[in-house]
Amino acid sequence: MLQLYNVREELVKDFDGTLTEIARMGYRYVELAMARYFGKTAAQFRKSLDDAGLGAVSAHVPYRELMEDPDKAIDYYLETGCEYIVIPFLDNEDRSTGSRYEEVKNNIAMLGEAAGKKGAVLLYHNHEFEFAQYRGKYALDDLFESIPANLLQTEIDVCWVKVSGVDPAEYILKYSGRSPVIHLKDFDLEGFNKPGYDFIAEVDKARSAGAFPFRAVGYGIQDFPAILLAAEKADAKWLVVEQDFPSPGKTPLECAKESLEYLMRN
């Protein structure tokens, strides 16, 4: 399926036309992001998806949005058709390096319980900052060890795992049975092969500036044969194509098509 964050600007210009084009490429399912940004009710969003021949499986929902009114937020995304609610990011103060992390873990467990009562499943989507050390382990591992699997599942983003110096296939296998949705994301090392500097810090600056060298799936440095095999062994149910910014000289829709074509060949 395709993460709609890839085509956020296209959706602003032509919401229904972009969804139709995504379906025309061959995608049948999508993951939502910034859903409320488009000013549609859940029923309107669902109708647009239905009209295009697409189904929503999961949605990235900001932690703050979920905490503001958990029931309201979860109900909105369930109405669009989503089974999985995904916390996509944590602000600095909410991370393991911030002052609220232990409180945040308790809140995420509460959100997982609220989601489960409504028939949804809560996931957490990582970036690179969760691979900081916390109490002798990766902060991401601490999160998943602190909150039981029945309250929180994983959405492993293979790009940020790789950036952190961890093998994505091995990390997926580590969470076998707890990885229903996996983000497939590729990149190259253009401009990031300089010796003697803080790689993670440079990546963070580039990502914030929209300058990180994302590539269509299969067009970067990732070992996708190994990743796809690991996903199968880990019993993943869904694979999501995500590319935050398009490849040089390409549009987001062209990149989405390239990613799908690569996956269809493999």
Residue 135, classified by CB atoms within 10 Å of its CB into exposed (0-12), middle (13-18) or buried (19+), is: exposed
Each residue's pLDDT tens digit, 58-100: 999 999 999 999 999 999 999 999 999 999 999 999 999 999 9
Q: Is the pLDDT of residue 10 over 90?
A: yes
Q: Is the pLDDT of residue 209 over 80?
A: no
pTM (2 d.p.): 0.94
What pLDDT does 198 receive? 67
Please give the tally of structural domains in the chain: 1
Q: How confident is the model at residue 195 (pLDDT cuts 50, 70, 90)?
A: low
Residue 240, classified by CB atoms within 10 Å of its CB into exposed (0-12), middle (13-18) or buried (19+), is: buried
For residue 57, the domain's CATH number is 3.20.20.150
Determine the Cα angle at 217 with ends 120 and 249, to 5°: 120
CB atoms within 10 A of CB 117: 10
Q: How confident is the model at residue 36 (pLDDT cuts 50, 70, 90)?
A: confident
What pLDDT does 216 receive? 98
Q: Is the pLDDT of residue 193 over 90?
A: no
What is the residue range of 42's domain?
Answer: 2-265
